[in-house]
Structure 1
């Protein structure tokens, strides 16, 4: 079945060294995520409520937070060569906790996949016509699904095409939108909308990509070295925040609105619509890719059945496309945002276990030496469940500082303390499925 539908990409195993990719192939995809329409929207939101230099510092502080978290999580991915929900089994969560992580990832990213498909459908309806919005939702969603089914290599070639086109079109639309405005005057101008504080702005930046930070191993498991992870993270996040984010800030000051979609479509017409399409395409394929991996891990741990990644991707892609066509996903945005509070503590716990507590590092090291997943995993880690819940509640209800950062740091500190007190213990032991062995036929084109 795994050979019948798409490429499996070692969904339940390690990526062998011979199937890793050169830095550029992965870096283009990381930059594609960070230079997406969401960064444009973030920049315009900041620009509508902040002066230029205040927005600059919010982007800077938020980028530093994201880079630190993403690098640490990404390093785990390149060392272990496994997906986020697989690594979670031996980074504090156990088999049961990892299945929950897989489910949360799948629900969240399928939801955002559908919402992004709806946004693109609106643009296609305006640009091309011919089909109603629901029809274009299906076309866009199923088109992305077809690419993701064929795995990382297919997504890499898509990035080579869409990222340069997106940047070219963004340059054109920004130049048109800023035509007739003095750059100095825009930099010095007051924010046109309600005030956003530096803390609030930084929280918006840090929170905007926290889900992407958590699922970073899904991408960095294809890297070859730790240095590659650091380079692509720093370059991708820095350029994404500054090049795209600050362009959104300037456009918001120039036009006096935070609605970046209205800005780009009104200023450059069909070019603006193409900006929207290419700006959603590259982040949406990774939404679907990580969602598929989450489903594979969830079904494997809960039902004991190894669903091929291609089949899981096809299923969730069709479901997300149908929901987008039905126009129902927009009603669940608040729910998806609420679900997002579960992600920051995951990062804190994984980093604390892997680099500090190291309760299951021996199993990971032995598995890595044999190029396979560890043969067993703890079934549950009760201390982790408590820490995860407490930290998620802090992310939701804390009124001080940066909610997502507070939750991440709290989860890290609580897990380290629990580890020092010998409270991090597995309950039960579950055999790892035979399918996690890296025994699939190597891709002769990998490593390009």
Structure 2
């Protein structure tokens, strides 16, 4: 069982880039990625929805790359890499809380989806009715087992789940194209009309947390290049493929409830089994990162990481029972506003102010860095309330600019004071 929580990963335990890419692919290849494609296509023609999704995932990759390379440099998770930008106590209380809530919320969404799929299997094939809340509870507990064991359990689980969901998606894609025809799909007219900024924001929201917490897994990378490659190869292709499949299934079924769409295509049983596997891999990542955030928040010993992972998943399971899936798009909107500005402040601090230098990063750690906290608040407000542009980009850029302005103004002020 993995014991590393906030301490640096030893060189002997570093992993090759493709091992980390597999973890990222496993987190992308999931039901929620299909649902993001479905959510976007409800308000956009098919081709525009795909373009919006591509832009959204590209935005994620850009800031994820910087976050991931910093994790590879320092060998520690996001709640620690953020300690220079926000201060030791600022990172502990503010960033750990935000990331814990986000990861736990995602666990609840995924457990709800898994519960719905399992209930459908039992009802369709065995005639047994199991309430979705009960299925979500049972599968939430099962998913926690691999999360508690840590990185290696994630790696092995993905060897099974990733090929299975890729196979299901290809079969579903073929079924959609042969049944409904390319022309009908191209001529699809959505019920609503989303703005480009809103649609791209949905795509970013689908993996906004993953981009920010890149260091949780890239800390196992042997170099910056490995961190960059693992994120690029693991996230973008898998995310786009699932987004397209989800959009097509939604066009055909008229709902982004993927279990209903697969049932209409005659893939109910096999589809639901594979969806459970895919959800399992992603939820393990959610519980794992949520556990790390809780360890940081309460300043716990590394050995308590498995227990905190279990608690994170348990809270997420309760949220699943309470029906968090009903608020899926609202949840994505809030994440789009609150999460990316964290990366903006961290990128400004480490890569610009500290020039990507580990020694400068360590020397810059204080208890509370009000510059980072102020820039995060401003980034969040801009992302949430600014009506023009793309909310994620608005949040990242505004928090980054705010951090740099305050940092250099304060630096000049200190220099002037010293001269006098």
The verdict on a shared fold, with TM-score over 0.5 as the criterion, is yes
Q: What residue is the counterpart of 2:166 in the other structure?
A: 167
Q: CA deviation at 1:245?
A: 1.2
TM-score (norm 2): 0.89
Equivalent residues of 1:186, 1:253 under 8 A apart: no
1:137 aligned onto 2:125 = no
Query: Does 2:85 correspond to 1:91?
Result: yes
Per the TM alignment, residue 92 of structure 1 is displaced from its structure 2 partner at its CA by 3.8
Choose the corresponding residue for 1:110, options 83, 104, 111: 104
Does structure 2 retain, via aligned residues, the 8 Å contact 1:35–1:244?
A: yes
Q: Is the 8 A contact 2:73 2:224 kept in 1?
A: yes
Instruction: Provide the C-alpha distance between the structure 2 equivalents of 1:382 and 1:64, rounded to a whole number of angstroms.
Output: 30
Contact 1:383–1:424 under 8 Å retained in 2: no
**Unmatched segments (≥5 aa) in structure 2:** 123-127, 415-420
The structure-2 alpha-carbon separation of the partners of 1:134 and 1:249, relative to structure 1 and needing over 3 Å to count, comes to: closer
CA 1:339 to 1:248, structure 2 compared with 1: closer, same or farther past 3 Å? Answer: closer
- Is the deviation greater in 150-159 or in 24-33? 24-33
Cross-structure match for 1:341:
337
Cα deviation for residue 70 of structure 1 reads 0.8
Using the size of structure 1 for normalisation, the TM-score is 0.83
The residue number in structure 2 matching 1:272 is: 271
| Whole-angstrom CA distance in 2 between matches of 1:407 and 1:197 | 18
**Number of positions where the alignment pairs a residue of Structure 1 with one of Structure 2:** 407
Cα gap change, 1:330/1:287 in structure 2, threshold over 3 Å: closer, same or farther? same
Match of 2:5 among 11, 18, 30: 11
Q: Does 1:70 align with 2:58?
A: no
User: Retained in 1: the 8 A contact 2:87–2:365?
Assistant: no
Aligned residue for 1:286?
285
CA distance in 1: counterparts of 2:288 and 2:171, whole angstroms:
30
Q: Distance in 2 between matches of 1:338 and 1:91?
A: 22
Deviation, structure 1 residue 69: 0.9
* Residues 50-65 of structure 1: pairs in structure 2 closer than 5 A: 50-65=44-59
* Aligned-residue offset at 1:364: 6.0
3-state SS of 1:21 partner: coil
Higher helix share: 2
The corresponding residue for 2:211 is 213
CA RMSD of aligned residues (A): 2.7
CA distance in 1, matches of 2:247, 2:326: 28
* Residue 352 (1) aligns with residue 348 (2): yes
Equivalent residue, structure 1, for 2:37: 43
Cα 1:197–1:328 shift into 2, 3 Å: closer
Match status 1:419 vs 2:407 = yes
Equivalent of residue 393 in structure 1, options 381, 389, 401: 381
Provide the residue aligned with 2:150 in structure 1: 151
Superposed displacement of residue 351, structure 1: 0.4
Distance (whole Å) between structure 2 residues aligned to residue 57 and residue 171 of structure 1: 20
CA separation of 1:174 and 1:156: change in aligned 2, threshold 3 A = same
1:190 corresponds, among 182, 188, 208, to 188
Gaps of 5+ in 1: 1-5, 366-373, 427-448
2:8 & 2:413 partners in 1: Cα distance? 25
Q: Tell me if structure 1 keeps the 8 A contact 2:38–2:249.
A: yes
CA contact (8 A) 1:67 1:233 kept: yes
